[in-house]
Structure 1
Amino acid sequence: MGILMMKRLLLTILFIAPIVVNAGPSSQAAWTSKTLKFVKNGNLDKGRELAGSCTSCHGDKGQGMKEETMDDETLPAIPALAGQVATYTYKQLRDYFNGDRSHESMTSIAKGLSEQDAADLAVWYASLPLPVNKSPGQKFARAEKMVEQGDGKRILPPCFVCHGAKGQGEKQDIPALAGQQADYFTRTLLAYKNGQRHNDIYSRMRLIAGQLSDAEIRELAQYYQQLK
């Protein structure tokens, strides 16, 4: 399948998604040239300073944390932020602020951040190197096929069309996936799949995740975690 065909397939999904998934506005983010410039010009030094209060959860290098079980209680994985596309991080913080995305801790934290704070944090984390989470010897044939070829029978475009050949993400609202904590990745796609999370513009990830099996989601998570 050629690149042009892939992009047409993706456009088809974008057009039918709002019809297939009936939901309210997914986000109040508006990617105007002014907003893009605002995020790009975020203050790295201020972002580094603000990130000091984020290290207990997201790690001293923005590497996130794996899911852990302590005293019979499961502590959910915390996402890696290092190397993340700045506009994506900014959007998530503003979505928490606006109520388009909900999380017991992050919502209250984001409510205390100004738009400038969100931009500063976003560019700081984007400046950090991607986490390294290699999986020596592991094979991910099914995930690699989905990333490189997609599945035309299910109208699923290859993951690389949006997220890049190396999982680096793209500008605006398409996140980097390389190095992301696998447990967090899995939980995120399952949340899109069951409709628990709905701040994806045009319902893109809800439509895609809804057609993936749980096993496919877990393998994709492991595949992207070990990319760098």
Structure 2
Amino acid sequence: MKNKIVMSLAAVGAALMVSQGVAAEHGAGAAAKGPSTNVAWTPEQLRLVASGDKNRGGQLNRDMFCASCHGDQGVAPTGNWPSLAGQRAEYTFKMLKDYKDGKRHGSATAEIMVQVAQQLSDQDMADLAQFYASFKLPSLPVGVSFDAAKADQAKAVVTRGDGKRLVAPCQACHGPNGEGAVTDTPALAGMPPEYFIKTMHEYKSGARANDVYSRMRLIAKTLSDEEINQMAHYYAGMTAK
């Protein structure tokens, strides 16, 4: 019963955070900066992503040198870059569009992607997205490890959330197996810990701001650095067993 109450409170918290995000997105500051993304999931947009040709995407992965950072089959060779194997096609497409539109920027690695995305058409992005989505979720890159003890410490917040802080369970959006469960919510299983930590700190500081309605920015600000560290190892270890 207690767990059900906590989960209910967490769900209320999620709704409150989205409401706060909506207000922030449409406030005076947002009016000056514009929306966090230009991608709207209309039927036409979804059909475009679904039309992606994974074979052509594989060719682009080679020709555009995407493989040098994300691997020949979407598994990053180091922990400095995200693995994209098994990633939801819609999420990959959105990220590429956000880079091209200047909605995702602020770090040295992001600026590299901004330059790459400028050379891609929407169809190119759909093709790449389907290429990466065609693989299973990745194991960790060679030489990258995770801490099982830290992963265990993150389990409560990931699976149940924290009603006291109005934090919804991470798995409510990212899926019970870290596979991603909502159109613009990414798979996290097998993500290198270093990249996960870097991303969460960018959300926490506001350096990354392409999350719709500030959802991840609001959540990241409630988490301690140690909790972020623990979550990074939790998701990294999901495909390392």
Q: Is 2:213 the partner of 1:210? A: no
For 2:12 and 2:149, the matched residues in 1 are separated by 33
Q: Is 2:138 the partner of 1:131? A: yes
Q: 1:66 to 1:110 in 2, by over 3 A?
A: same
Task: Give the number of aligned pairs.
Answer: 219
Alignment counterpart, residue 101 of structure 1, candidates 104, 123, 144? 104
For 1:216 and 1:170, the matched residues in 2 are separated by 22
Alpha-carbon shift at residue 55 of structure 1 (Å): 1.0
Q: 1:220 to 1:19 in 2, by over 3 A?
A: same
Alpha-carbon shift at residue 222 of structure 1 (Å): 0.9
Q: Could you say which residue in structure 1 is the equivalent of 2:71?
A: 59
The structure where helix makes up a greater share of residues is 2
Q: 1:171 to 1:162 in 2, by over 3 A?
A: closer
Alpha-carbon shift at residue 131 of structure 1 (Å): 1.2
Structure 2 unaligned blocks of 5 or more: none
Alpha-carbon shift at residue 11 of structure 1 (Å): 2.0
Query: Does the CA-based 8 Å contact 1:66-1:183 persist in structure 2?
Result: no
The aligned amino acid for 2:46 is L
- Matched position secondary structure for 2:238: coil
Q: 1:198 to 1:137 in 2, by over 3 A?
A: closer
Alignment counterpart, residue 49 of structure 2, candidates 39, 42, 47? 39
The aligned amino acid for 1:226 is G
Q: Could you say which residue in structure 2 is the equivalent of 1:176?
A: 187
For 1:213 and 1:118, the matched residues in 2 are separated by 35
Q: Is 2:21 the partner of 1:17? A: yes
The aligned amino acid for 2:200 is L
Alpha-carbon shift at residue 136 of structure 1 (Å): 7.6
Query: Does the CA-based 8 Å contact 2:158-2:171 persist in structure 1?
Result: yes
Alpha-carbon shift at residue 141 of structure 1 (Å): 2.9
For 2:19 and 2:208, the matched residues in 1 are separated by 20
For 2:118 and 2:129, the matched residues in 1 are separated by 16
Alpha-carbon shift at residue 20 of structure 1 (Å): 5.7
- Matched position secondary structure for 1:45: helix
For 1:191 and 1:135, the matched residues in 2 are separated by 21
The aligned amino acid for 1:129 is K
- Matched position secondary structure for 1:140: helix
**Residues 38-86 of structure 1, C-alpha deviations (whole Å, 9 max, x = no match):** 101211111111111211111122111434xxxxxxxxx1111100010
Alignment counterpart, residue 191 of structure 1, candidates 178, 183, 202? 202
**Residues 173-225 of structure 1, C-alpha deviations (whole Å, 9 max, x = no match):** 10000011110110000000000000000000000001101111011011101
Bigger shift: 79-88 or 16-25? 16-25
Query: Does the CA-based 8 Å contact 1:65-1:181 persist in structure 2?
Result: no
- Matched position secondary structure for 2:94: helix
For 1:28 and 1:152, the matched residues in 2 are separated by 32
The aligned amino acid for 1:47 is G
Bigger shift: 20-29 or 83-92? 20-29
**Residues 129-173 of structure 1, C-alpha deviations (whole Å, 9 max, x = no match):** 211137485452321001111111111000011111011002421
Q: Could you say which residue in structure 2 is the equivalent of 1:115?
A: 122
Q: How does 1:136-155 map to 2 (within 5 A)?
A: 138=149, 140-155=151-166
Please, what TM-score do these two structures have when normalized by structure 2?
Answer: 0.85
Q: Could you say which residue in structure 2 is the equivalent of 1:74?
A: none
For 1:33 and 1:20, the matched residues in 2 are separated by 27
- Matched position secondary structure for 1:174: coil
Structure 1 unaligned blocks of 5 or more: 68-76
Q: 1:153 to 1:101 in 2, by over 3 A?
A: same
The aligned amino acid for 1:83 is G
